[in-house]
Amino acid sequence: MAIKDYIRERFFPHMWCPGCGHGMVLNGLLRAIETLGMSKNEIVMVSGIGCSSRISGYVDFHTLHTIHGRALAFATGVKMSRPELNLIVPMGDGDALSIGGNHFIHACRRNIAMTAIVMNNRIYGMTGGQFSPLTGYGAMATTAPYRNIDHGFDIVQLAMAAGATYVARTTTYHVKQMTEILRDAIIHEGFSVVEIMSQCPTYFGRKNKIGDAPEMLEWFKNTTTPIGSKAKQEDPSLIERGVFVQKELPEYCSEYAKVVERAMKGRS
């Protein structure tokens, strides 16, 4: 199926700014789904609030555009009521880890089969460039005009500690790796977290004088490195990308099926 068949052309052009990385994530995601040959009827996309979350409107799946930070909670209800559906949950960094931080760690802990995609542009874009829990110490934002004093989360470390069984990081520069990781995350039998560093030239790039989209993509290329690379040993400030965790542990819906089995036996 062509990529075009996965989108709702009626609702284009999209509302993202020129140079925004979120369209690249959309492209990478649809290519991953295309390689898997999944039926559109089997896919439910649940998103929250923010620039990233508008992605759900553009794809021709069952789409649920919810409230700020709660996408994973809605998705948990969909998945538990129809475990055979494939759940994809794209979120922004503020959506997933600030207002939605509690739902994020608990979804990781349950190991419920769904794919959480954190489109991390390190800023609240929709509201105009305020600092998020991923902005990082020393960066500029409209609400950190004298530089940010909040330290950022490491999404990968957080997801691993909380119990996610597939954890990966990539960037919009590394589109081929992005597609491969998303494909593997979607078919993973458990809770998968994919952090995709995505550029916001309008706010993060401009406020922090990194430049426009091409310069930001260059910046992703130059500040990241494959996991365990020699470059990382020489320069610990580099951000590693790749698959950090991929393991098999009991999945939540399967575990609940066992609860049902035990309850039904107990009755007779």
Q: In the complex, which residues of this chain contact other proteins (CB under 8 A)?
A: 8, 10-11, 40-42, 44, 46, 56-57, 60-67, 70, 73-82, 84-85, 102-103, 106, 256, 259-260, 262-264, 266-267
H or E element that contains 81: helix 71-81
Nearer to other proteins among residue 74 and residue 131 (C-beta): 74
Nearer to other proteins among residue 82 and residue 221 (C-beta): 82
Nearer to other proteins among residue 81 and residue 237 (C-beta): 81
Complete DSSP assignment for 129-150: SB--TTS-TT--BTTBTT---S
What span, in angstroms and rounded, lies between the C-alpha atoms of 96 and 100?
A: 5
Instruction: Work out how close the CB of 23 gets to other proteins at its nearest, in angstroms, rounded to a whole number.
Output: 18
Nearer to other proteins among residue 11 and residue 137 (C-beta): 11
Instruction: Work out how close the CB of 28 gets to other proteins at its nearest, in angstroms, rounded to a whole number.
Output: 21
Q: Which amino acid is at 117?
A: I
Nearer to other proteins among residue 237 and residue 268 (C-beta): 268
What span, in angstroms and rounded, lies between the C-alpha atoms of 149 and 138?
A: 6
**Do residues 182 and 192 lie in contact, with contact meaning Cβ atoms separated by under 8 Å?**
no
Instruction: Work out how close the CB of 198 gets to other proteins at its nearest, in angstroms, rounded to a whole number.
Output: 21
C-alpha closest to that of 178 among 3, 27, 16: 27
Instruction: Work out how close the CB of 34 gets to other proteins at its nearest, in angstroms, rounded to a whole number.
Output: 16
Torsion of CA 158, 161, 166, 171, to 10 degrees: 20
Instruction: Work out how close the CB of 134 gets to other proteins at its nearest, in angstroms, rounded to a whole number.
Output: 21
